[in-house]
Amino acid sequence: MVLAWYMDDAPGDPQQPHRPDPDRPVGLEQLRRLGVLYWKLDADKYENDPELEKIRRERNYSWMDIITICKDKLPNYEEKIKMFYEEHLHLDDEIRYILDGSGYFDVRDKEDKWIRIFMEKGDMITLPAGIYHRFTVDEKNYAKAMRLFVGEPVWTAYNRPADHFEARGQYMKFLAQTA
Ligand code: KMT
Ligand code: NI
């Protein structure tokens, strides 16, 4: 099961869980209503996995690469970590499959509250185009992820506010329909 919760408002290190007490869990169904899709796969066989191939084929996730997020492997680590954690949106879906390590994807709900999604080895997620989100590794400082795209990659992140984009308008429409 995916582990997700409403974040607490405590200041401090974003790489800590920020999981409130008492817990405020968020389920798959609620994520789905935000357009966030989730799969659990066997990351040990990502190089030859019929389940992964099926998802990629059905959803046209044709392009992929692998990024390792840790101090020693990622050039400009500190700068990139900071960038990933700026609230932003993309004009295409953000599709990530965690092959090793772990991290947090934070997404805004309909009331603009932060939902934190804990992603570890074997977790695959699609964040829809136009959703405001951010990413950080957790306190272990290590994540290896497959990045997938429908066709050619579109990397640009638009920091909030970015409400004038067509993709944002489309996403708001989607949210209104699933209310
Ligand atoms: C992004 O766009 O936020 C990222 O690529 C985060 C790193 S992938 C786990
Ligand atoms: Ni992003």
Q: How far apart are the first and last CA of the chain?
A: 24
Does any domain span residue 13?
no
Does any domain span residue 8?
no
Q: What local confidence, expressed as pLDDT, does residue 78 receive? A: 96
Helices (H) and strands (E) in the chain, counts: 4, 10
Is the Cβ atom of 145 under 6 angstroms away from ligand 1?
A: yes
Q: What local confidence, expressed as pLDDT, does residue 2 receive? A: 87
Please state, in angstroms and rounded to a whole number, the distance separating the CA atoms of residues 49 and 41.
Answer: 9
- Overall domain count for the chain: 1
Does any domain span residue 7?
no
Does any domain span residue 42?
yes
Please state, in angstroms and rounded to a whole number, the distance separating the CA atoms of residues 87 and 67.
Answer: 20
Q: What local confidence, expressed as pLDDT, does residue 7 receive? A: 98
Does any domain span residue 141?
yes
How far apart are the CA of 148 and the centre of ligand 1, in A? 11
Range of the domain at 118: 35-178
CATH code for position 151: 2.60.120.10
Q: Residue 134 belongs to what H/E stretch?
A: strand 133-137
How far apart are the CA of 145 and the centre of ligand 1, in A? 8
Q: How many CB atoms lie within 10 A of CB 140?
A: 12
Does any domain span residue 79?
yes
- Give the pLDDT of the chain (179 residues) as one tens digit per residue: 789 999 998 999 999 999 999 999 999 999 999 999 999 999 999 999 999 999 999 999 999 999 999 999 999 999 999 999 999 999 999 999 999 999 999 999 999 999 999 999 999 999 999 999 999 999 999 999 999 999 999 999 999 999 999 999 999 999 999 86
Tokens of residue 111, six digits:
């009331």
Whether 44 and 155 have beta carbons less than 8 Å apart is answered as no
